[in-house]
Structure 1
Amino acid sequence: MSFVTSKPVGATGFGLMGFTWRPVQTPDEQAFATMKEALAHGANFWNGGEFYGSPEPELNLKLIQRYFATNPADAEKVVLSIKGGLDLQTLAPRGAPADIRRSIDNVLEHLQGSKYLDIFQCARVDPAVPIEETIAEIATYVKAGKIGGIGLSEVSAETIRRAHEVHPIATVEVEFSLWSTEILDNGVAKTCAELGIPIVAYSPLGRGFLTGQIKKPEDIPEGDFRRYLDRFQPENFAKNMDLLHAVEDFAAKKVGPDGKPVTPAQLALAWIHAQSGQNGLPVIIPIPGATTATRVAENMARVELSSEEKADIDEILRSSVVVGGRYNRHMEALLFQ
């Protein structure tokens, strides 16, 4: 248990993107049951986006609004973080004050008062606007009581420091998993630890790769975002399977709390939890997504790693080379700005 904007949150959070940013939308009945399951397991830090919708950007916000309108008692239980600050047509970063106002106002309008916005964060840093200007504008909403706090996403250690000088930063969100460990070496994790800022780890299961459910590129549905990412391209996919096979082999030998071998997903999440608050690192809250209650229950089964097991997994990472960028050449330019 840790604290975000003075509210306690569970060790594992919940990513909402997968409900709406995919070719086929998740029906409300299924989505609501999955969200209820997450909350029942203590995953009360929820992460959504103003642009997490296909074909309509705000579908994620509309789903969140419908959930809390239907389940008003859950509003106070959940810490809601929403990413925005992008052009909703091109998804280019927009950090100027007028653009920030448009984004936050749009989020609040879609929530319709059903849920307080605990954290707002720009999904990416606008390279044309000093981060100080962006944060100062978001801070006016905090001071007015319209939102609870400010988060950052995919930022450098320097940007974290500059932003934090303008207004305390509640969370820093970044991809972190067994195949995305950059924050351990580029100063981001160290800076967050120094400033007492929790890290929110998105895609902790490697966008589904580390679950073992995807065995070849063709297993990814047509129109799925992952088909455009470098690591899922055919020339890279087969090479990256070496890491997955090592994770699967390790998981098969480890017994979980239910007396059965742990799943690769559970092992991947256990490794992240083993980093959290240890060896000079900050609190790290993974936010695995899921569209079924069954998958939520699997992800929330807390698996502990011994120091020896963690060391063995770290050795797997040192000997496994992940091929391909986390996104693609165009989108990679906006990471760690």
Structure 2
Amino acid sequence: MTATIAGKAVGAIGFGMISLLNPAKPVTTEDAIATLKAALHAGANFWNAGEHYGTPEYNSLHLLNAYFTKYPDDAEKVVVSVKGCFSFKERKPANDAKGVRASIENCLSILDGKCRIDLFQASRGDPDVPIEVTVGAMAEHVKAGKIGSIGLSECSAATIRKAVTVHQIAAVEVELSLFETSVMSNGVAEACKEFGIPIVAYSPLSRGFLTGQLRKYEDMPEKDFRRMFPRFQSDVFDENLKLVEEVEAVSTKKGCSTVQVAIAWVSAQSKTAGVPVIPIPGAGAVSRVEENMKRIELSDVELDEINEVLERVEVKGARYPAAFSRFESV
């Protein structure tokens, strides 16, 4: 199922840039640019950036500036998605008109005209600011030609229905993986189908759990941000590893990697959702891009087998630390 966002066709698998700004595994700008180039070459032309991916001094927007300075011709080939309006330092969104304006202007300033923001979205909803206000503020920037389209991130079905009364929504970004399937049953996918909105699936590898690289809690570096997340805590780690092991068994029989099965399962949700579902796995190296982008198809039998596993194996722990739960799926 093909997808179009902001008037541009996007590949079946996109690229999430947060892995290139992971303080626990630093990536040089040179290596990050090479990874982005490999992603584009492999067909991942939808790049998901964030104003808060990194630091105010160097984040994913600075990296985009560096990339398109080196490869200016690629600016027309890439669909750039940017999440903003959220301060992870202060742990709160800034989704009122003032916050939206400040975030967009800051992003544009950092990009310095090197590429266009095709899709802009507030990183999280704000229960204190109506979505109509947030989308309305973004719509002014669409009209002014400063951004190409508007997306929603971490939203509820009710929010989608309110947002579309203000402006067309080009994409909905939500967490979707074998560890997190709630959007398929909580009305979000149904609302996206109702309005023909593509779903952008972030963390399709559950923040690396489904890569198979983590076998015990201690495998995460001390500064690894995942140590803050409930599903990675030492008291539930081994329980959650059982799901990884079940998926590994499926991948072994199929003769491919666990990563490829996990991404293929997310892509296959397009059939159920009735709209394109675009997984955006991250990668910190070219070799990982190559593995992520090698597409496989899961048969109905294999999908049934995986779905049986999901019914049988319970995922332990919430998606986010308690401090962020107030902003989940507003």
TM bin, normalised by shorter chain, reads: over 0.9
**Identity over aligned residues, as a percent?**
48
| Shift, 1:332, TM fit | 2.0
Query: Does the 8 Å contact 2:91/2:324 carry over to 1?
Result: no
Question: 2:27 — aligned with what?
Answer: 26
Deviation per residue, 1:62-99 (Å, 9 max, x gap): 11111111110110000000000113631311111011
**For structure 1, which segment, 278-287 or 113-122, has the greater mean C-alpha deviation from structure 2 after superposition?**
278-287
Query: Does the 8 Å contact 1:201/1:285 carry over to 2?
Result: yes
Deviation per residue, 1:31-63 (Å, 9 max, x gap): 111101100111000001001114x46422111
Q: Does 1:76 align with 2:76?
A: yes
Match of 2:287 among 262, 286, 294: 294
Question: 2:259 — aligned with what?
Answer: 265
Question: 1:48 — aligned with what?
Answer: 49
Q: Does 1:303 align with 2:304?
A: no
TM-score (norm 1): 0.95
Question: 2:39 — aligned with what?
Answer: 38
Query: Does the 8 Å contact 2:50/2:60 carry over to 1?
Result: yes
Distance in 2 of aligned mates of 1:64 and 1:197? 26
Distance in 2 of aligned mates of 1:321 and 1:44? 34
| Shift, 1:25, TM fit | 2.9
Distance in 1 of aligned mates of 2:57 and 2:95? 18
Instruction: Give the letter aligned to residue 153 of structure 2.
Output: S
Query: Does the 8 Å contact 2:184/2:273 carry over to 1?
Result: no
Change over 3 Å in CA distance of 1:206–1:280 after alignment to 2: closer
Deviation per residue, 1:190-243 (Å, 9 max, x gap): 100110000100000010001100111111112111000000000111101110
Question: 2:179 — aligned with what?
Answer: 179
Change over 3 Å in CA distance of 1:203–1:280 after alignment to 2: closer
Structure 2 unaligned regions, length at least 5: none
Instruction: Give the letter aligned to residue 32 of structure 1.
Output: I
Structure 1: 4+ residue segments shifted above 6 A: none
| Shift, 1:137, TM fit | 0.5
Distance in 2 of aligned mates of 1:98 and 1:136? 12
Partner of 1:80, secondary structure, is: strand
Change over 3 Å in CA distance of 1:283–1:68 after alignment to 2: same
Query: Does the 8 Å contact 1:270/1:305 carry over to 2?
Result: yes
| Shift, 1:185, TM fit | 0.9
Distance in 1 of aligned mates of 2:25 and 2:287? 19
Instruction: Give the letter aligned to residue 140 of structure 2.
Output: T
Question: 2:208 — aligned with what?
Answer: 208
Question: 1:251 — aligned with what?
Answer: 251
Distance in 2 of aligned mates of 1:167 and 1:313? 38
Equivalences for residues 1-337 of structure 1 within 5 A: 1-54=2-55, 56=56, 58-87=58-87, 89-254=89-254, 261-276=255-270, 278-337=271-330
Partner of 1:83, secondary structure, is: strand
Change over 3 Å in CA distance of 1:280–1:230 after alignment to 2: closer
Distance in 2 of aligned mates of 1:36 and 1:312? 36
TM-score (norm 2): 0.97
Distance in 2 of aligned mates of 1:17 and 1:335? 19
Query: Does the 8 Å contact 1:30/1:292 carry over to 2?
Result: yes
Query: Does the 8 Å contact 1:50/1:57 carry over to 2?
Result: no
| Shift, 1:111, TM fit | 0.3
**For structure 1, which segment, 211-220 or 88-97, has the greater mean C-alpha deviation from structure 2 after superposition?**
88-97
**For structure 1, which segment, 83-92 or 9-18, has the greater mean C-alpha deviation from structure 2 after superposition?**
83-92
| Shift, 1:166, TM fit | 0.2
Distance in 2 of aligned mates of 1:136 and 1:311? 42
Query: Does the 8 Å contact 2:91/2:323 carry over to 1?
Result: no
Distance in 2 of aligned mates of 1:263 and 1:148? 36
Change over 3 Å in CA distance of 1:216–1:326 after alignment to 2: same
Query: Does the 8 Å contact 2:50/2:83 carry over to 1?
Result: yes
Instruction: Give the letter aligned to residue 317 of structure 1.
Output: L
Instruction: Give the letter aligned to residue 235 of structure 2.
Output: E
